[in-house]
Structure 1
Amino acid sequence: MNSKKIVEVTAAIIRKDNRFLCAQRKDSSEQGGKWEFPGGKIEDGETPEACLERELQEEFNIQAKCGNFLCENMHDYGNKIIKLKAYFVDHMQGNFKLLVHQDIKWLALDQIHELDWAEADLPIVNQLINDLK
């Protein structure tokens, strides 16, 4: 039996002018320097949608509205398993402030693969490219 902890997390696909928000984790954090779609851990009693809206407020000081579900995948990082749910998210208001990331980029679909993605986010990158081609 697998005794590893499964951590349920969310990822926001934010699109603006046909470019997608990509966020780089701080070098000092877990998966430091890797790129991800921003989001975070779902708290007890919280929906994935509410989690994303809260996390985007905490990470970038923006207001966002969660939209359609894109995909879900699981990735084993060795010490834990990440169950990642990705949703399209609309940026409603606020200027992006880097509160927990060291960088952000707005990239076109054909540029997204150039980044060094966190492994759990790679299936989302591939799904996005396949769905929007």
Structure 2
Amino acid sequence: MTSKKIIEVTAAIIRKGNRFLCARRKASSEQGGKWEFPGGKIETNESPEQCLERELHEEFAIQSVCGKFLCENTHDYGDKIIKLKAYFVKHTSGDFQLLAHQQIQWLNLNEMQQLDWAEADLPIVDKLTSHYK
């Protein structure tokens, strides 16, 4: 029996008014073309909050401050298990550059539900929808 690798990752919920940042993965990447909340793998000796601030700088060249925890979701992709922790994040400075994604959009909750999301991110969309009803 092979035990699947559990990968701990983070997701940033960045809000601007009643819109949220949604990022589309590059077609050449894993889960290519799917939408996600940006973030990434937590490195050794790194907190989820530190991970998000580092990843957002690497993916978009922005500065940010990690805030309140929203939710956690575990999803089995078959070859690996993703443990995804979502946090509200404040964008503090810098213009968004697409360094790791093919597209970003600022969408309201109704618009977000029309996207083709990475499966691990779907419960976050649901949680946000119920959080802001």
Please, what TM-score do these two structures have when normalized by structure 2?
Answer: 0.98
Q: Which runs of 5+ in 2 are unaligned?
A: none
Partner of residue 10, structure 1: 10
**Alpha-carbon separation, structure 2, partners of 1:76 and 1:104:** 26
Identity percentage of aligned residues: 73
> How far does the alpha carbon of each residue in 1:40-88 deviate from its partner, in whole angstroms, 9 at most, with x for none?
0000010000000000000000000000000001000001000000000
Partner of residue 20, structure 1: 20
Partner of residue 110, structure 1: 110
Partner of residue 71, structure 1: 71
**Alpha-carbon separation, structure 2, partners of 1:86 and 1:44:** 18
| Correspondence list, 1:49-60, <5 A | 49-60=49-60
Structure 1 vs Structure 2 CA RMSD: 0.9
Partner of residue 91, structure 2: 91
**Alpha-carbon separation, structure 2, partners of 1:102 and 1:131:** 28
Please, what TM-score do these two structures have when normalized by structure 1?
Answer: 0.98
Q: Which letter maps to 2:36?
A: E
The DSSP-based 3-state class of the residue aligned with 2:33 is coil
Report the Cα offset of residue 110 of structure 1. Answer: 1.5
Q: Which letter maps to 1:23?
A: A
Q: Which runs of 5+ in 1 are unaligned?
A: none
**Alpha-carbon separation, structure 2, partners of 1:14 and 1:109:** 13
Report the Cα offset of residue 2 of structure 1. Answer: 6.2
**Alpha-carbon separation, structure 1, partners of 2:63 and 2:8:** 22
Number of equivalenced pairs: 133
Report the Cα offset of residue 18 of structure 1. Answer: 1.3
The DSSP-based 3-state class of the residue aligned with 1:111 is helix
